[in-house]
Amino acid sequence: QVQLVESGGGLVQAGGSLRLSCAASGSASSNYVMGWFRQAPGKEREFAAAISRSGGISHYADSVKGRFTISRDNAKNTVYLQMNSLRSEDTAVYYCAARGLGIITTSGRWNYWGQGTQVTVSS
């Protein structure tokens, strides 16, 4: 079983950048596909990005493609989400998630979750 802790959220102006981190413990992160989801107030949790266990394959939601980059450092058991050209509609709580195999965009198919980190983009 793996525990996930996110960090790096905060308040940023539109057009700015933030980098989120997700530290894994309890089990090597290399055992898991890792992903980032987000949930805005009053909305369902939605997929943002995911990366394969080796880091060789990544997948993005259309809404973030070209602006967000997911990466991982398995030696540090950490996954990152670099967010550039932020927009007000990116405001949400961002959650790190892990699952054993396969990149899936449905949140219910992910097994482990962090507590979330708030990202607020002011216009």
pLDDT, one tens digit for every residue, the chain (123 residues):
899 999 999 999 999 999 999 999 998 889 999 999 999 999 999 999 999 999 999 999 999 999 999 999 999 999 999 999 999 999 999 999 999 999 999 999 999 999 999 999 998
Q: What would the DSSP string read from start to end of 28-73?
A: -GGGSEEEEEEE-TTS--EEEEEE-SSSS-EEE-TTTTTTEEEEEE
* CA 107 to chain CA centroid, nearest Å: 12
Residue 110 CA to residue 33 CA, distance in Å, equals 9
SS3 122: strand
